[in-house]
Amino acid sequence: MEPERYNKASRSIPVEEQPESPFENIESAQQFVELLCETIEEVRREIETESARPQSDRRSQALQLVSYNLAKLALHMGTSRRILNDLRTLRRLFLQERGAREEESAEPVDEAEDQSEAAGAAGFAE
């Protein structure tokens, strides 16, 4: 029998129980998008600094193209962030609605029991 393996990062959870995807839920995807947005901003600042230095026309054009593509990527990440927020909100609303339905379906049973108990008590009173 093979000894149980552990993930080096957590050391407490066996590797077999680790999630297969870093995007198991909306919140982990949001964390990834946030990290990516921060990285894009850092790279954008580095490109701006590099663009301010004297260089050849070809390199200057390449840096402009990189800057343009980073701006597009930042816009897409902003859109992704909003979509993830919407999904999280919808999931919460859905779970609340489902919880309310479960409570409603449980309440008539409780009311019926209360009515039968009241009728039984009334029978004893007569």
User: For residue range 95-114, what is the model confidence (pLDDT) as tens digits?
Assistant: 888 888 888 887 655 555 55
Taking residue 29's Cβ as centre, other Cβ atoms within 10 Å add up to: 19
In the predicted model, what is the mean pLDDT of the chain? 79
Residue of 27, 18, 16 whose CA lies nearest to 89 = 27
| Alpha carbons 24 and 26: distance in angstroms, whole number | 7
Give 9-27 pLDDT, tens digit per residue: 444 445 555 556 777 899 9
Q: How confident is the model at residue 30 (pLDDT cuts 50, 70, 90)?
A: very high
Q: Is 6 helix (H, G, I), strand (E, B) or coil?
A: strand
Between 122 and 103, name the one with better pLDDT: 103
**Residue in the block written with tokens 């998008």:** 33
Q: Residue 102 has what pLDDT?
A: 84
- 77 and 35 in contact (C-beta within 8 Å)? no
DSSP state of 16: G
Which spans in 7-126 are helix H? Answer: 26-52, 57-125
Q: Residue 101 has what pLDDT?
A: 84
Angle at CA of residue 90, ends 87 and 95, nearest 5°: 125
